[in-house]
Amino acid sequence: DNSTIKSDFHIMADEPSRLFSSFDVSRNDYYTIHQEACRNLHRDIVFIKKNMAKVGVALSPATSTETLEYLLEEVDMVILMTVNPGYMGQQLVPQVLKKVEKVRELKEKYGLGFKISVDGNVNAKNINSMVKAGADTLVLGSSGLFRKDRSIKQSIELVKEEIDKIK
């Protein structure tokens, strides 16, 4: 390990527990698995938290937030996919913003401290509605950061400007 930078491992694979030993993670890293990919999500979440790193759980757009309620006390982050995983350049699934609100309400209801992250089509146009819904972590990719029409530095400045408008 040559870096002190925190890493965020987001694993979208069937039965991710078979891959746990494949990654060199530190206690301060995040290791996120998808609800849809686990036979026993709670067991996997507990294992990651006890033995590996901070733990996250991700939901694809079609997966209900009710699938999380029984394990929210165990997680450090919830990632709500705002596009269907696997293909870059997709448009935001707008119904996911309601899911972000629901997860924020559950977090407040139970007084929990996990992060709420959004991943997929996060860009200057969508950031305002994502943050207002409850997202406190934004995953930037091809639609918001890695653009052919501007540098990464310009993209970061644009994102910062949009976040500053929210305050």
More confident residue, 167 or 123: 123
Confidence of residue 167 (pLDDT cuts 50, 70, 90): low
Model confidence at 1: pLDDT above 60: no
- Residue 153's H or E segment, with its range, is helix 152-166
Q: Are 32 and 12 in contact (CB under 8 A)?
A: no
* Per-residue confidence (pLDDT) for residue 3, from 0 to 100: 64
* Per-residue confidence (pLDDT) for residue 85, from 0 to 100: 81
* Per-residue confidence (pLDDT) for residue 141, from 0 to 100: 86
pLDDT tens column, 60-87 = 999 999 999 999 999 999 999 998 887 7
